[in-house]
Amino acid sequence: MAFIYCGIDLAVRRKTAVGVMEGREVSVNFVKDDEEIVELCKDSRVSAIDSPLSPSRGFRHVDREMLRRGLKVLPPSFMESLVVRALRLSKHLRLIETHPTSSEKLMGLDWRSFTTSKDEFDAVICSLTAFFYDMGKALKISADDGEIYLIDFKVGLSKRGGKYVLEEGAY
C-alpha cells in the first residue's frame, strides 16, 4: 500500500481544498469542517498546509526571509482566524507550513494550465510538498520563528480523469 500525503489549502469562509496523494495520484476534495479535514488526512505521513503555523503581530523573521528571496507572503496578522484554525488542526495532524504560490513560482508552473480553481491547484502543490518533504527534497526556509517548505525544482505533473498525476521519474 502506498503512503498518503495531504495538502491543505486552508480557507475560513470558503470550503477548504484538500489534496490527498496516494502513490503518484492526487485527488482533491472541498470540505467545510475541521473534522472532514482530519478524516481525509488522518492516515497521511505528513500534511502540508498553506497557512502560517505560528502567530505574529507583523511579519515573522521567516516571512522576511521569503520576501528577501523575492517570494511574496502576507504576515500572519492579516489572517488571524486562518492561523487559529491551522493551530487547531496541528493538534490532530502532523503539519508542515508551505506557501504553494511560491512553490509554483519556483517550479515555473501556472495553475491556469491545469484547472480553473486556484484553490484546487494549491492543494495539489501542498500535497506534493508533503511528499517531497518526506523524501528530504523540499527546500526549507527557516528562521527562529518558523519554517516554510517549498518545491524549488521542476516536476512532471499532468491531469487525467480528474486526478493529478506526478509523472514517474519526473523529479
What is the per-residue pLDDT across 85-116, written as a single tens digit (0 to 9) for each?
999 999 999 999 999 999 999 999 999 999 99
Residue 75 covered by a domain: yes
Residue 121 covered by a domain: yes
**Residue 57, pLDDT above cutoff 80:** yes
Per-residue confidence (pLDDT) for residue 101, from 0 to 100: 97
Host domain of residue 84 = 4-166
Residue 65 covered by a domain: yes
Overall number of domains in the chain? 1
- What value does the mean pLDDT take over residues 35-39? 98
pTM of the model: 0.95
Residue 171 covered by a domain: no
What is the pLDDT confidence band of residue 1, given thresholds at 50, 70 and 90?
A: low
CATH for 87: 3.30.420
Residue 43 covered by a domain: yes
* Residue 98: count of CB within 10 angstroms of its CB: 32
According to the 3-state scheme, what is the secondary structure of the chain?
Answer: CCCEEEEEECCCCCCEEEEEEECCEEEEEEECCHHHHHHHHCCCCEEEECCCCCCCCCCCHHHHHHHHCCCCCCCHHHHHHHHHHHHHHCCCCCEEEECHHHHHHHHCCCHHHCCCCHHHHHHHHHHHHHHHHHCCCCEEEEECCEEEEECCCCCCEEEECCEEEECCCCC
